[in-house]
Amino acid sequence: MSSLNILMIGAGGIGGYYAARLAEHGHRVVLTARGRHLEALQASGLQVDYEGRLINCPAPALDHATLIQTYHPDDFDLVVITLKSTATEPVLDELGDWLSRGSVPVLSLQNGVDNEPLIAGRLGESRVLGGLAVRIGGHITEPGKVFAEGVAQIVMGAWPKASDADDARLPLLRRLESAFNDTGIPTTVTPDIRYELWRKLVINNGVNPLSALTGLDTRSLTHHPEFGKVVYGMMAETVEASKADGVNLTRRDLDEMFELIRSFNAIKTSMLVDKEKGRPLELDSIAGAVLKRCEALGIEAPYTFLVNALLRQ
């Protein structure tokens, strides 16, 4: 199979990990970053510490102004967005006109259910692939260096759904699924990515804000006699919120997601990492997204309301 050309926008914990795995299997990857992380990537390349193995990835790394001057969007088979959700809109402002010059599909690998609509609003639905990074914990440990753990799956699909059997995104999705699996990234294509994004939001609303508030990892939270109940309560509120988007998650989704995170590694959530580094938190796209939907449905979400309010203080 021919190698892929992939542009990874915002190559931090998640983007850095997947980029390194793809590059070590011969795919061409270009990274974007900024600040000291970018300087380190340009000086010494990306180094990923994954499950006791060091992966060195000498992929080119650029800021967005240089990207625009150097490349045409259709130089790539795929653009992957691995920014924090707080950066989706500002980066679409930076790169939207450039992306509009081409037709390359854009895959979001971010948490939350509101990134794909933002990208679609700018580029049109037919270019958008929704996606999520599942069972992975990853973060920048120092400029140029990423630590990652977990089986690190990807689930992706045409957003919100393929228009028909001739949808041009379907052959690309099949090609990506096959290439990613060959590199050791367990990947599945789903016909209903919004459902999967909401199931992931159940996990993220359950553990991310509470971990940022308490400083506890996912295992400590989900096994804690009191916090475990709060996690379950916040997950249940997310299941209710999904109904506002016509994604009717059920008690079964709730229990499956609770069990998935309860049995996963003890992960320091991405929101806890951001809190410790004094960076903006993805609160609007996680707790805020749930509260907005519950308000529209006229229902209370007291756990999410309280934890969100305490964190925003």
Ligand X SMILES: CC(C)(CO)C(=O)C(=O)O
Ligand Y SMILES: NC(=O)C1=CN([C@@H]2O[C@H](COP(=O)(O)OP(=O)(O)OC[C@H]3O[C@@H](n4cnc5c(N)ncnc54)[C@H](OP(=O)(O)O)[C@@H]3O)[C@@H](O)[C@H]2O)C=CC1
Residues in contact with ligand X by the rule CB under 6 A:
111, 136-137, 203-204, 207-208, 218, 267, 269-270
Rg (the chain; Cα; Å): 19
Handedness of CA 160, 202, 282, 246 (dihedral sign): positive
Q: Which residues of 58-97 are buried (b: 16+ CB within 10 A; e: fewer)?
A: ebbbbebeebbeebebeebbbbbbbbbbbbbbebbebbee
DSSP 8-state class, residue 50 = E
105 versus 144: smaller Cβ distance to ligand Y: 144
162 versus 194: smaller Cβ distance to ligand Y: 194
91 versus 311: smaller Cβ distance to ligand Y: 91
State how far the Cα of 127 lies from the Cα of 77, in Å rounded to an integer: 12
108 versus 270: smaller Cβ distance to ligand X: 270
73 binds, among ligand Y, ligand X, none (CB under 5 to 8 A by kind): none
State how far the Cα of 177 lies from the Cα of 160, in Å rounded to an integer: 18
138 versus 206: smaller Cβ distance to ligand Y: 138
88 binds, among ligand Y, ligand X, none (CB under 5 to 8 A by kind): none
207 binds, among ligand X, ligand Y, none (CB under 5 to 8 A by kind): ligand X
162 versus 270: smaller Cβ distance to ligand Y: 270
Q: Are 81 and 107 in contact (CB under 8 A)?
A: yes
Q: Which of 88, 94, 96, 93 is CA-nearest to residue 113?
A: 88
Minimum gap (Å) between residue 164 Cβ and ligand Y: 30
Residue given tokens 């309280």 in the structure block = 306
Minimum gap (Å) between residue 273 Cβ and ligand Y: 7
**C-alpha dist (Å) from residue 13 to 33, 136, 142:** 11, 10, 11
Pairing of strands 137-142, 53-57: unpaired
Minimum gap (Å) between residue 299 Cβ and ligand Y: 25
Minimum gap (Å) between residue 193 Cβ and ligand Y: 15
218 binds, among ligand X, ligand Y, none (CB under 5 to 8 A by kind): ligand X
Minimum gap (Å) between residue 232 Cβ and ligand Y: 20
Q: Which of 40, 81, 69, 76 is CA-nearest to residue 57?
A: 40
245 binds, among ligand X, ligand Y, none (CB under 5 to 8 A by kind): none
Residues in contact with ligand Y by the rule CB under 6 A:
10, 12-15, 32-35, 37, 64, 82-85, 87, 91, 94, 110-111, 133, 136-140, 270, 282
Minimum gap (Å) between residue 149 Cβ and ligand Y: 9
